[in-house]
Amino acid sequence: MDKEEKVTEFIDKIRARVGTVVVGQDQVVERLLIALFTSGHILLQGMPGLAKTLLVNALGKAIHLDFSRVQFTVDLLPADILGSEILDQSSATFTTRKGPVFTNLLLADEINRAAPKVQGALLEAMQERKVTLGDETYRLPVPFLVIATQNPIEQSGTFELPEAQLDRFMLCHRLDYPDVQEEEEILKRNLGLGIQKEGQGAVANTEFDIVSDEPVGGPEDLTNAIDHTHRVHVSEVFIKHVVELVGRTRTHPSIELGGSPRAGIALIKGARARAMIHGRNYAIPDDLFALAEDVLLHRIRLNYEALADGLTAANILNEIIREMG
């Protein structure tokens, strides 16, 4: 089996593993893999109860990687994520206690529930991939991927992430409710979860209990996939498409803030990973169109006239893509 076949098998196994606990959501699994293979960070946005946490949990266990989960709350402090120095009274010296950020896969659950200074601390670590505790600077493990989830900003008790911080996320994927068949399947699977007996007591199983701890691949499989992603060819014509698309978001009359150069980089990186996942060694316009919403929508800010007219960023982006062709 050559390396390319190994990568394909690795991806199929991950999809199958996640599929055992999460129904549907093929697109979000693909986006998670894109983020993983391009060392980008991903923000999952959706209403509560769409299996965001379960999905990431299943992915973390499928690949043999360190996995941490932090539930963001309003009283969380930067030290709760990054770590801190603790005074050891017996030796009268400070010892470093590393926080949950020192991991391969960090699930920042409901990131928009934390105060801005906590969000800022995490996003700085995401950008620089290192953390300073006291006088020491520590590099974060490789690979390091943040998968953040957030509820829609209209919900009460949330702090909206500012544009500059949203730009740090390579992808922002919006999860939809499952369709009727998928929802029926979810309910049927839930009926068969069973119970867990321990001693004389028993408790009903949840989906988290049935996620297998057996990994389907290790760090070498992931490294192989990352290596293959970097070898995907991006033509000059494809780069022209990307520049045209990002440029149009900056000059559209309804858009106040368009895509940054980082958005263009994210489109190219994402397109490479998507091409690799789809078994190609070159990127095509389909990759660009498929990822445009996830890469650009969270980076675009509409002006007041557009908002007053009831337009949405997704409408405008689709209009821009149609005008390109």
The DSSP letter of residue 162 is P
Is residue 311 close enough to count as binding other proteins by CB under 8 A? no
Is residue 128 close enough to count as binding other proteins by CB under 8 A? no
Is residue 304 close enough to count as binding other proteins by CB under 8 A? no
The CB-of-146 to other proteins minimum distance in angstroms stands at 26
For residue 63, what are the β-bridge partners?
217
In whole angstroms, give the CA distance from residue 1 to residue 13. 15
The CB-of-306 to other proteins minimum distance in angstroms stands at 9
* Strand ranges for the chain from DSSP E: 42-45, 67-71, 83-88, 93-98, 105-109, 130-133, 136-139, 145-150, 171-174, 195-198, 201-204, 255-257, 301-302
Is residue 215 close enough to count as binding other proteins by CB under 8 A? no
Among 222, 283, 296, 300, binds other proteins (CB under 8 A): 283
Is residue 71 close enough to count as binding other proteins by CB under 8 A? no
The CB-of-239 to other proteins minimum distance in angstroms stands at 8
Is residue 325 close enough to count as binding other proteins by CB under 8 A? yes
Among 159, 282, 301, 311, binds other proteins (CB under 8 A): 282
Non-local (6+) Cβ contacts of 211 within 8 A are 20, 21, 54, 57, 58, 61
The CB-of-29 to other proteins minimum distance in angstroms stands at 17
Burial 78-111 (b: 16+ CB within 10 A, else e): bebbbbbeeeeeeeeeeeeeebbbbbbbbbbbbb
The DSSP letter of residue 233 is B
The CB-of-288 to other proteins minimum distance in angstroms stands at 9
Is residue 322 close enough to count as binding other proteins by CB under 8 A? yes
In whole angstroms, give the CA distance from residue 277 to residue 280. 7
Q: Which is nearer to other proteins, 156 or 304 (CB)?
A: 304
The CB-of-49 to other proteins minimum distance in angstroms stands at 25
Site string for other proteins, 237-256 (x = CB under 8 A): xx-xx--x---x--xxx---
